[in-house]
A = this chain, B = another copy of it.
Amino acid sequence: MADNTRRPEPRYGNRPTMKDVAARAGVGLKTVSRVVNGEPGVTPDTERRVQESIDALGFRRNDSARVLRKGRTASIGLVLEDLADPFYGPLNRAVEEVARAHGALLINGSSAEDPDREQELVLALCARRVDGLIVIPAGHDHRYLEPEIRAGVATVFVDRPAGRIDADAVLSDSFGGARSGVAHLIAHGHRRIGFIGDQPRIHTASERLRGYRTAMADAGLAPHEDWVSLGTTAPERVRDAVVAMLAGPEPVTAIFTGNNRVTVTVVRVLAAHDRPVALVGFDDIELADLLDPGVTVIAQDAATLGRTAAERLFHRLDGAVDAPSRVVLPTRLIARGSGEIPPPAEG
């Protein structure tokens, strides 16, 4: 027999159904349903016969059919940017734990920072009739979700707000965090401070840039255009940005980085640089404390972000109909050395 023999119609295999169990036990369908669901009103003897039949046939209730009748799928969708990004790991896990506590399964997907892919994924989840949706949006126009939300799909945005619709959101204080991080560098004597961030269409990126500009303005500093670089977090792009800022007649003496991926690349570039350059990064990164110098960061609490969003979602699923809310979680500056490097004495 060849290796590539194919089954005719795979279907669910040949799974026994409640009907099969009922026939074998010589009872009605509803009685099987009662036993399977632990409902009362079955004599011990009948129950035993049904249970024996279930075991013999290897019956397992088809929740997919159950769901169709009950109207709730006991599943939620989580759309994030990249399942492989360590920043989202704790967020993902926190959402899972809350879902689990509510008896719901988690359907996961990455948008890859592509608005079309986000929409495609979100609508596929709606077609599966997930009870609710937690979205880290890639796009800026979520009006496509309006009919779904009206139809009862609870939706909570996390990390970034929804665009053009009014919806629950759970965010970190990107503006405040960046502002305090840049102020920290200024307090250590820096005047020429660079900002390297993610693409400006991403809400967190533009908020962090705003924090940078505000901190500079607060100190009466006017950042040179060349000190700001926004774009993808691809290592080459970030590397070029650092190199450019450190060259020229007025090189920056400190850099503020907009997220974990940017920070990692900047740390690499600075490690190979001849003069010390101060650095504060948004997002904590693993082993940041063991580098020399340790990396000073603005840490956000990704797990709390996820947990808060999921709890909000289930609150809605429990029937809460209060107005959409926005929760902003504080960030925390962790000084480890890189942010406390003074600028070189001016020549």
Chain A residues with CB under 8 Å of chain B are 3-7, 9-15, 58, 60-65, 67-68, 71-73, 75, 82-86, 89-90, 92-93, 96, 100, 105-110, 123-129, 131, 147-148, 150-153, 264, 267-268, 271, 285-292, 303, 317-322
Contacts and interface: CB of A to CB of B under 8 A. Distances in A.
A213 to B, nearest CB: 29
Given A106-B108, A267-B290, A287-B291, A64 B67 contact: yes
Contacts of A72: 10-11
Nearest to A2: B322
Copies in the complex: 2
Nearest to A123: B60
Contact of A286 (B286, B289, B320): B286
A290 B148 CA distance: 48
Given A13-B152, A107-B107, 5 more contacts: A10-B131, A13-B150, A105-B109, A268-B290, A290-B291
B73 A83 contact: no
B147 A125 contact: no
Contacts of A68: 62, 64-65, 68
Contacts of A71: 9-12
B108 A151 contact: no
Nearest to A267: B290
Contact of A83 (B3, B14, B92, B151): B92
Contacts of A58: 147, 150-151
Contacts of A290: 267-268, 271, 291
A96 B73 contact: no
Contacts of A108: 92, 96, 106-108
